Each structure stands twice: as C-alpha cells, then as structure tokens.
Structure 1
Amino acid sequence: MKNKAIILFILLTLLLSGCSKSDVSKSESNTSNENTESTSLNESKDENTTNKINYNEVKPNELGKIMVLMYHNIGQDESTWVRTPDNFRKDLNTLYKKGYRAIRLNDYVSGNINTKVGFTPVVITFDDGNENNFRVFEKDGNIKIDPNCAVGILEDFKKSHPDFDTTATFFLNSNIFNQPEYVDYKLKFLLENGYDIGNHTSYHTDLSKSDKDTIQNTIVQEIEVINKYIKDYPINTLALPFGGKPQGEDYIYAIKGDYNSISYDNNAVLLVGWDPYKSPYHKDFDFSKIHRVRASETNVDNVGLYDWLNKFDENKEIKYISDGDPTTICIPETYKDVLNTDIQDKIIITY
C-alpha cells in the first residue's frame, strides 16, 4: 500500500511537471510570434526605406509631373489673381487630403526631394510681395501677424498639419510687403520659419521689352534691396514679371549676369503658369524655364489648380509619386527612356 502511494505521488509529480513545461513552451512560442509580427509591421510602415515598400501597391513614379503653384494676392474679393482667405485655406486642405506635401523651390530644382513614400511634392510661390501676402500689426507692444494674410494662413496650417512641411517662396519687388517699418522683421521671420525669398525685379519690369543692361540692372537692384535687410542671403531664384521672357540671346541674362560689380546666378527661373512641370530627373527638365500652375478657380481657361488636380485624379496626367528615399530615383520600367542619364548621385530603381 505504501509502495502504491509512492508510485502515485511520482506519477502526479511527472504529470504536473509536464504540463508546466508545455505551458512555458507555448508562452515562449506566442511571444516569439508576436515579436516577429510587430517587427514585420514596423518595417512595412517605415516610409523612408525604399527596399521595403511594395512597388506595385505604392506605384512610385519619380518622373511624374510636379505642380509649382502661382499665387499673387489674398483678398476679400475673389478674382483671377486673388484668392480669398477661405479659398486659400481650402486649397491647402485639398492638397493635404489628396496626398500632396510642400517642398522648397530650390529642393525641387536640385532634385533634393524628401517627400514621404506614396505622397506627391508641390511647390507654393507668391509673386509681387503685396501687403496681403504678409501683413502685421502691433498689439500691446508686440508684433502680430494678420491671420488672414498668406503667411498667417500658412503658419496656422503648419500648426494643425505639421506633416504638410509647410513652406513657400515669396518673389519680391522693391516695395517689400508695403509696410516699410516692418521689412526687417518680416524678412527675418520668413527665413527663420522655413520660407524662401526670390527675385521679381525691382520695379516689376517686363524683361521681354528690355535690353540686356536693363535686365541685369533691375535684377541686381532687387538683390541690393533685399540684402540691405538680410545680408549675404543668396537671391538665386527669379520669377519673370508678366511671364516676360528676354528675347533671343538676351535670355541668358535672366539666368546670370552682373551690374555695378554685383553678380547673380539663378538656380531657377519661373514663367507665368499654365501647367505642371517636369520632374527634375527628366531629361528635358530646364531650370531656366519652369512652368507654373495658376492657383485660382476664376478665368483660368481650364489650366487652374483644380483642373490639374482632377486630371491627376483621373490619370489624364501622370503626377510624381515619391518612393520615400531621397537617394534613389524610382520609376516604372516604361519611363526609362525619359530619365536624365547624366544624374550621378542617385540610385536608379525600376519595376
């Protein structure tokens, strides 16, 4: 009887030990599977790692077109060259919801595009440097930005949509934002908050009707005006007033020249808008003749912002879609023929 009791005790001990070992093994196995799944999910969400994206799902095409939007005024009455504050807010929200993300003009031109995977870069520009682009006022001894001017709207959008990467280039004439007592504050604010400043000539001169000396003089004069406030800032982008292109061989002076011992060498020359422009990796991309899109809905002759958004949505035009990796150019196999083969600092990926 005693022996039977001992045998029964041993059997129970072995049985309990076996259950415990099985449970531990099962627990370890579950933990391992959970970690593997978590790692896999994290990798699939890594938007900056090109070799981990599904090309057929994302369909990156870094030879698609990019919109360079052309704005002028923000005002209360909508017209061809005026957007109301509410409509400008609508533009930004529409771009955001449709998967567009802002980039700097110089980054577009240089091909330094860091747009996240699956999204499309867009460039925002303002011509003329009107007060409604950047208006300030003083309250209780402090400078405040008008919430209904372009910069006020952009800054508010930046707070609520930090992943839009809000930025814009302001092309200025000599009367900078029409509040002379605040020019220094405004220009420094723009540079400190991720915006850029470009040249629109000192007196909005039509360069198509100008000789080479006038072209160089009016470009250099504006550089001098701006550099009084922000010394050594490189003014190396030009938006042609009226879209007026210097004639014949004089076009070179829109790109580079000198006057009164001051020289300039523009990285980008922008025309008046009618359509999106080529990818900087396209073999026919020309930094000196960049097309722009009219950011308006009034009298745009079917070439306004919303016309092009619809064409992209309907695949009537092919937009740039980023692969999320600034070190690569990712394109469908069928686009190889239009790739600029002189580009040396990028890895080419086709699918």
Structure 2
Amino acid sequence: MRSSAPLTQIIMLANVVVVITAVVVLLVRPDAAPTSVSLAGTATPLSTPPVTPPAQTPSPPPSPGPSPAVTLPSAELPPPVVASPEFARQVKANEAGVVPVLMYHRIQKKRLASIDRTPAQVRQEMERLARDGYVPITAHEFVTGDIRVPAGKHPVVLTFDDGHPSHFALDKAGVPLKDTAVGIIYQVAKKYPDFRPVATFWVNHQPFGLRDARAQENAVRWLASRGFEVANHTWDHPYLPGLSKKRVAEQLVRVQRMLAKYGAGTPDTLALPFGAMPRKRSTVQKGKWDGTSFAFKGVFLAGAQPSVSPFTKDYDWRAIQRVQSNGKKGECRKWCSQYWLEWLNKHPGKRYTADGDPERISVPRELRGNISPQWKQRINAY
C-alpha cells in the first residue's frame, strides 16, 4: 500500500474531483447518481437511493418453497487443514494482507449512472476474481474473523447496496434470474467450483423492490437459508449526519426488526448510506430505540481502497473501506475495482492469502508485529 502522506494528498485531490464530478452529473444528468465525500475523509461514491420497480413490472415474488429442479452450487465451507509454519510458507500465506470488499449497486443492461454495472460487466469481473484465486465470504464472516478460505486462496467480500430488484428475483421455476446478482454469482460458481456463492446484501425497507411483506420475507429467507447475508442499510437511506441520534437509532432498529422477523437473524453489519459517517461515530455502532437495541461488529464506508485484514492492528471495524466495482475512467482511475485488482495482482505479497486453517493466523515472520494483540495466541509465523 502507499505511504500515509502521499495517500492523504491523493485522497484530498480525489475528494475535489469527486465533488466537481457530482455537480456536473447533477446539472447534466438528473437521473444519474451523484457522488459525495465521506466525513471519514475518504472519497465515497454515493449509494443509489432505493428504487421501487414500476407497478406494471413488479419483480417476481420469490418463494421459499421446494428446491428448484436445477441444483445450485453449494455455499458449504471447505474442510479445514492444520497449517504448520512450513505449510504456510509453501502456500505463501499472508493473513495480514489486504482484502478487497467490492461494492455494487444497480445491475442493468443500460447504465443510467456511473456506479451502475451491466450484467456482462459484473459477470466478467466475477469470473476474473475466480480465475485470480479469490473466494467470496460474507461481510459478517469478515468482521468476525471467520475466514475459512482454502490454502493459497484470497478472500473477497461481494457487497450489494440498496436491495435493488436487480440483485435478486426468481423465475417461475424458483431459479434466480440469470442477470441478477444472485443469478450471476451462481453461474460463476458453477463454472468455477472454488468460487463460493455467497454475498452480502444491505437493504432498506423494501428489500429487492418488493412491497408485499410476505414476498419480502420469502426473499430474505431464501437468501439466508443458502448462506447469503442480508443486513442493515437503514430504513429510508437518509444522509445520517443530518439526523439526530434518536432518528439514526430509529432508522437502524426498524431494519433490524424487519430482518429478524424475516429470518435473517440479528444483523451485525451496516453499510452507511452514501458512505456518510455521522459526526459522532458511536451513533451507528450501538444504541437503542423503542425498547430494541442494536450493536454492530462492522460499519462499512463506500470507498476507496481494499480493507486491511481484520487481524491487524490497523483494522478499524467502525469504518471499513470498500472498493466500487467499476473501470478505470474519470474518478475511478485509481479508486475502483479494475485498478485495485490489477494492483493486487502486481503486488501479491500485499494481499491476504489464506493458510486454510481457521485456528491459525499465518504470516511471514517480518509481519508478525502487524497482528493485533487480541489474536496473538493464534499467530503462525514462518
């Protein structure tokens, strides 16, 4: 990674470019999603506000009924191994390396905003990840350190904001539509068996554009039962720095209640709308509203570089970095997925490479001091 001083200067310059771009987009294309700057000091492309599908073309309501005739790839984790220092050396394990947490929004054939991706673009990127040895894990698994990636492979966290209809819908046979996020993930997993079919969907009050409560519950249960994570993106997708502490808590608790009722458990990860951190960061970490408490283990921003390993001293669960899925044009020249995946391929020693052993944290001996004291009993240095 870059040294702190040049990186700070680059981030400041990127913020200026982002703000200028946002103004131009708003003036020229009112249908395009603008861009903002996180109060955490990072260039942060805005999340697309939730979009309700037109009444005449509703998303097919998913059903949690019998499994479809087509067998879908399993999200089952591989059996663990016992990693000795010599084994860790052989697979070049480095569990102090960085992890790309990729951020997606709408997936549609005709892009209306810079952060939209086409189905072909998403499919191409995921196939590239699979060829490069990346294995998906959920945001929950990442923040809890439950990274059970096979030895020599690299974790990647696939995240989708806003619960858009293009993320999940089933056809009449109960199979995910092929150009949705879930459909694409399963297609890539079928082609590349090591590409584990899981992802994290951060939703608002109408998950996947569904208005009917039963259809919403069916969708959430279908995903949760197959290893996907459905978690909190606030009720109305507001700009949190503009809300009182009580209003912020209400926004979070209402989603927590909904997802718990729908079978997703109690979500412990949060993606900030617009990547905007409230002035008092603890407001979104834990709290209470109307008798219901919330407490997150990971709060995610909206850009603009890979996250440090959750095992390192530099890791801050209160402000986890993500990378926008996009090409290398304009503001994405050095901030989006194509740039960073190329960079990680050129600097393999910087990325997280697993040892295949969930009980040990394997690192080259010179990186031993990077591991946080809470994990020191699990260090396997070579």
Please report the TM-score for the alignment, with normalisation by the length of structure 1: 0.80
2: CA distance between counterparts of 1:196 and 1:62?
23
Report if aligned partners of 2:163, 2:202 keep a CA contact under 8 Å in 1: yes
- After superposition, the C-alpha distances for 1:170-228 in whole angstroms (9 at most, x for unaligned) are 00011211122421221111011110011110000111222211111111122233334
* Equivalence for 1:212: 245
For 1:267-346, list aligned pairs within 5 A.
Answer: 267-297=297-327, 299=330, 300-315=332-347, 318-343=350-375, 346=377
2:378 to 316, 334, 347: 347
Q: Paired residues, what number?
A: 299
Matched residue type, 1:349? N
Gapped regions of structure 1 (runs ≥ 5): 1-45
For 1:1-351, list aligned pairs within 5 A.
Answer: 48-51=81-84, 54-78=87-111, 79-137=113-171, 139=172, 142-181=173-212, 182-230=215-263, 233-247=265-279, 250-297=280-327, 299=330, 300-315=332-347, 318-343=350-375, 346-351=377-382
2: CA distance between counterparts of 1:47 and 1:193?
20
Report if aligned partners of 1:273, 1:292 keep a CA contact under 8 Å in 2: yes
Matched residue type, 1:93? E
1: CA distance between counterparts of 2:80 and 2:249?
45
Deviation at residue 337 of structure 1 after TM alignment: 2.2
Deviation at residue 271 of structure 1 after TM alignment: 0.4
Please say which structure displays the higher CA radius of gyration. 1
Counterpart secondary structure, 2:84 = helix
* Equivalence for 1:31: none
Report if aligned partners of 2:333, 2:339 keep a CA contact under 8 Å in 1: no
Gapped regions of structure 2 (runs ≥ 5): 1-78
Please report the TM-score for the alignment, with normalisation by the length of structure 2: 0.74
Counterpart secondary structure, 1:198 = strand
1: CA distance between counterparts of 2:278 and 2:346?
37
Report if aligned partners of 1:145, 1:152 keep a CA contact under 8 Å in 2: yes
Matched residue type, 2:292? I
Deviates more, 1:162-171 or 1:311-320: 311-320
What's the C-alpha RMSD, in Å, of the aligned pairs?
A: 2.0
Counterpart secondary structure, 1:92 = helix
> Percent of aligned pairs with the same residue?
30
Matched residue type, 1:116? P
* Equivalence for 1:43: none
Deviation at residue 56 of structure 1 after TM alignment: 4.3
**Structure 1 residues 51 and 81: alpha-carbon distance in aligned structure 2, compared to 1, 3 A threshold:** same
Deviation at residue 53 of structure 1 after TM alignment: 5.0
Counterpart secondary structure, 2:161 = strand
